[in-house]
Structure 1
Amino acid sequence: MASIFTTLLLSQVFSIVPFSAYGDGLTQENLPPASFGNRQAALFIKISPPILTKDTVGDTYVQLRLFDAKTNQAVPHTSYFISVWKDEKLLLRNLFHAHSGELTLKIVPTKMDVNDVLIYGDEVPQIPGAWTGFNDRVEVHAPVLLDSGLYHFEIKIFGIDYDQNIFADKDVKTFNSWLSVGDISNQKIISSGKSYDTSIISYYDKINNFKFDESKKSISFSMPFNWDMKRIEGQNIFVHQEVRVPKAFKEFTDTTAYDGKVSGLPAVGRMLILDPYSIEGTSILHFLVNKDDILKIAKTIPAGAKTMDFTVAPASAVAKNSFDVKFDSGAVAKVSYDSNLGAGDTIPLQISFFDPNGQLLKFVRHGFRIEDSSGKVLLENSGDDPQKPGILSTEGIDVQEFKFPSQGTYKITLLVVSHGLDELTTYQGIGSSTFTIGKSGQASQPSTSDYQIPAWIKNNAKWWSEGTIGDSDFVSGIQYLIKQGIMKIPNTQSGTGTSQTIPSWIKNNAKWWSEGTIGDSDFVSGIQYLITQGIIKV
């Protein structure tokens, strides 16, 4: 058990410098180190806000930090020569200096020619033409971040360590980054005479050509995209789109499965993920298109294409098996898969990570391992970047595919390395759970003869999750129903614990069950847990 997972966990606890390559499609990036004499220094760059709206357009920044790759200390007295392009048009080209090494540009987006850019700060006497300011903050009026879309930043490091140190041309180091500012497109869908407010959030470029086909209940839209193969091959690139639809639009949201396409390529597995958790009353569909997907599409895209096109429509609901993996930190991972898939099938396992309050953990770095009943490791995956262990799940929901060789009991072990863009280790740890894979075409979760739950109990679960009834009333009610045989639960060993504290994940399960987000078996597993802890006594 103390194989690579334990090693990875320990390496993360004692590591100093976080390295993440996000690149084209996200709003911040740690660029790989360059050599400065006997030192390796990397560059962190961030643009904000991540999405432009009328409320955020006046609060825009570019932040840069050159830091020692070994110590994570900022490199002092760094001179940054910054050029910015959008759609191959130059928007900014100026020299700045940060005495601390950490530079913040307060951008005032202004429609103007690049030659008319205004900078409010102090010139550095030792470096003609270089701008600095109090606390290394400089205000810049420029045509930067006026619009959503992809921005190319070229940063040349002209000097470090002290103000007068200006590099010879051969010693100047260049960093390139492509970062995106998102766009929100608010739309109204009219279906069966009713209107539904729907949003498309693009974390890449501006949304165009939104359409709703009522006969197919499909949503389609597009965004500008440069399909040049050399550009794609030479960059870190990732496209993320969100489709937010109110759950009141049941003709679209009353399902657990969707058919999607990205410029003709079927969006399968982790390319299209449903998130029914993050926003109450809203289903969120995530298109997550990585570089390999984009290269695959680029090989078939018609010559001259200038957009990336998206379509999504509800498919027939798919019955799911699901189970929880709990961590000592209080975090919980929910693993679910198609109940009709079994031995010999390639099964997509959807893994969703939650904090103790039932909120999705975003930007989770994780690993997983699958073992058979003999303890033989069948699959282990901790990402493909040796510099940065862990699979990155931006929305806290990942899909991993595996073909189970035979029917039987399997064990999954999950590792949480960090979460959040700032790579917090609050919920770092390892958790495991066993599950059963049955025959293909045959559900492997407990049969309904193992448990019986009257439909009206969903109302009780809803009221409890909303706080209308208290913990003790809910527990005593469930306890009474089980003892009277009104509610049937699989045989479960009663515990002798004295604590009456109910974990928050069980209340979240009750809420999601009452809303139809999860199935009966998930709710039953929560009741069984309360029995094993001695909170419900039967």
Structure 2
Amino acid sequence: MLAYVVLLGALSIIGVAYGHGTGSETLPPIEMDGELVTLVVSSSQEEGVVRVDIAMVRHITGEAVPNADFHITARHGQTQIFSQEFHRSDGRIIFDLTDGMEYTSPESSGGGFFGLLDPGSFKVSGPGLAGGGLYSFDVSVLSADGYEPADPPLFESAVSVPITYDDVMDGGRWGDQPMHFITYYDTLHGRGYDPETGRVFFEMPFQWDAAVIEQIETVHVEFTIPNGFGDMLASDMEAHVNGISTPPRTVAIDDYFMDVRTVHIVLPRHLLLEMLGATGGDSMEFDVGAAPRTPYSAVTSNGEYRVLVDVGPSGLAAGREAAVSFNITNVFLRSMNVEAGYTATVTRGGALLHSQSGVSNGEVTMRFPIPGDASGPALISFQDINGNDLADAALPVFIDPVPPEVPQTPAVPPWIRDTVQLWTSGDIDDGAFAAAISYLIQQDIIHMDTMPQVGGDGGPIDDWVRTTAGWWVDGLVSDAEFLAGLKYLVGRGVIAVAP
């Protein structure tokens, strides 16, 4: 049997709890036939069925208003499910929503022993109806307890049932990473991770309208990050919605589990109203990632300490010296450093790269060389913090490979030696040599970082330039020395180069 909240018992007072992002909702009361009444909507979910329980109750006592006639228009997300009238002698109506190939009209399941033991429910089927999301119900009260209002009041209600998604993301250098998403408002589309920016992104339908937002308690989305996904293990995360940066308090990280950590994005009603002036449309586009210059974070296995690790703005690279800083802090107060003994190790593929022990009471920096062949995922581990063999923590980090050497394009290509040799041996005259070199400079085949100022009107080529050119052909002087001679000739106007 489905479990659900019974809302018909006598309550001392009904509190206001808005839905549109929560699993239940009590709408603001209205006056009807001289007394205050309200609508209470709750939801529950079991495999294959979402149950929604709607009751009109007296605001003060919480008792159901009997003999009620409703007109209800229901929607799942943006899709209308049905629009129909209902009569309920007990003032309460239950819908059991199940998956089906197409939408069906509500069908009564009866009421048990001649309808006396159980108010029964209405079965409704449709594509994805049992999958969760936002369920909206516009309830017009046509009559209640013998009273028929001339202008039937309308309650606009909605409740959210969690929708879950299991994805495998391309984590770039970390490989494929399983991630679990839960939305407590509406469906998520376009879920992904960008390895270049280190950001998680997704989109959700949302009507940016003040009247809609006023009915919302909160919009809540969460996703889990495996504790082996190093680039996403930051101590602080930030979120943008439709390009708008949200306050830090809207993103919370639950990192007290050994295998995964959960990132919560919670947007309360007042923040949505503030954002309304800067955005609009019919969707929320989320972009979530590590806050700038924030350290990595891990909680010890006994939940007593938090270790903050900083590998510097340029990270770790093979063949270079590493500088890894860390702080051991109170698990809840990250600004409160703890004086504690520790043993720290850095390993890569089972090989020990560094080990040190000491007492931490503030920032500690470990400096050690990284071998040139040690690129890839590595692990920074902390053991026996403050002498407690249960106070361990580990953080995966990535060691970048040695950057490949970029071959330098020679300022003077080697094949030009043949042309220069023809000139130095007297096989071509100075004019032909100067014209050839002029063409090669203007085509940037012979590259000069700076061009000299022309301060002459030509003339013969100095003997020392010919001698230097001959030495260059024989490999006795550098390209720079040969270029110095060519620059000298350009400056004298012997080699003409267009400005």
Deviation at 1:76, TM superposition (A): 3.6
2:116 and 2:126 mapped to 1: Cα distance? 21
Q: Is the 8 A contact 2:143 2:149 kept in 1?
A: no
User: Which secondary structure state, in structure 2, belongs to the residue aligned with residue 81 of structure 1?
Assistant: strand
Residue 121 of structure 1: aligned partner: 110
Q: Is the 8 A contact 2:49 2:130 kept in 1?
A: no
Aligned pair count?
Answer: 315
Q: Is the 8 A contact 1:84 1:154 kept in 2?
A: yes
Deviation at 1:146, TM superposition (A): 5.1
Deviation at 1:512, TM superposition (A): 9.4
Residue 126 of structure 2: aligned partner: 143
1:89 and 1:214 mapped to 2: Cα distance? 35
Deviation at 1:68, TM superposition (A): 2.3
Give the alignment's TM-score, normalised by structure 1. Answer: 0.50
User: Which secondary structure state, in structure 2, belongs to the residue aligned with residue 25 of structure 1?
Assistant: coil
Residue 292 of structure 1: aligned partner: 270
- 1:265 is aligned, of 225, 240, 244, to 244
Q: Is the 8 A contact 1:180 1:205 kept in 2?
A: yes
Q: Deviations over 1:9-29 (max 9, x none)?
A: xxxxxx932413222222210
Residue 184 of structure 1: aligned partner: 164
Residue 46 of structure 1: aligned partner: 42
Q: What 5-or-longer segments of structure 2 have no aligned partner? A: 1-10, 309-330, 345-357, 362-387, 396-499
Deviation at 1:193, TM superposition (A): 5.1
1:68 and 1:183 mapped to 2: Cα distance? 32
User: Which secondary structure state, in structure 1, belongs to the residue aligned with residue 136 of structure 2?
Assistant: strand
1:169 and 1:445 mapped to 2: Cα distance? 62
- 1:453 is aligned, of 341, 344, 358, to 341
- 2:53 is aligned, of 54, 57, 63, to 63
Residue 158 of structure 1: aligned partner: 142
1:157 and 1:113 mapped to 2: Cα distance? 24
Change (3 A) 1:108 1:217: closer
Q: Is the 8 A contact 1:21 1:236 kept in 2?
A: no
Q: Is the 8 A contact 1:274 1:283 kept in 2?
A: yes
- 1:210 is aligned, of 191, 194, 207, to 191
2:389 and 2:91 mapped to 1: Cα distance? 49
Q: Is the 8 A contact 1:263 1:297 kept in 2?
A: no
RMSD, aligned α-carbons: 4.1
2:389 and 2:236 mapped to 1: Cα distance? 21
1:310 aligns with 2:286: yes
Q: Deviations over 1:340-361 (max 9, x none)?
A: xxxxxxxxxxxxxxxxxx9xxx
User: Which secondary structure state, in structure 2, belongs to the residue aligned with residue 251 of structure 1?
Assistant: helix
Q: Is the 8 A contact 2:210 2:276 kept in 1?
A: no
1:108 aligns with 2:98: yes
Larger radius of gyration, structure 1 or 2?
A: 2
Change (3 A) 1:120 1:276: same
Q: Is the 8 A contact 1:68 1:74 kept in 2?
A: yes
Q: Is the 8 A contact 1:105 1:137 kept in 2?
A: no
Q: Is the 8 A contact 2:14 2:59 kept in 1?
A: no
1:515 and 1:109 mapped to 2: Cα distance? 44
Q: Is the 8 A contact 2:67 2:87 kept in 1?
A: yes
2:39 and 2:70 mapped to 1: Cα distance? 11
Describe how 1:209-248 pairs up with structure 2 within 5 A: 209-227=190-208, 229-236=209-216, 238-248=218-228
Deviation at 1:282, TM superposition (A): 1.4
Deviation at 1:234, TM superposition (A): 4.7
Change (3 A) 1:46 1:512: farther
Q: Deviations over 1:352-404 (max 9, x none)?
A: xxxxxx9xxxxxxxxxxxxxxxxxxxxxxxxxxxxxxxxxxxxxx9xxxxxxx
2:335 and 2:88 mapped to 1: Cα distance? 61
Residue 96 of structure 1: aligned partner: 86
User: Which secondary structure state, in structure 2, belongs to the residue aligned with residue 189 of structure 1?
Assistant: strand
Residue 432 of structure 2: aligned partner: none
2:390 and 2:210 mapped to 1: Cα distance? 46
Misfit runs of 4+, over 6 Å: 486-489
1:285 and 1:511 mapped to 2: Cα distance? 29
- Identity in percent: 19
2:258 and 2:120 mapped to 1: Cα distance? 39
Give the alignment's TM-score, normalised by structure 2. Answer: 0.54
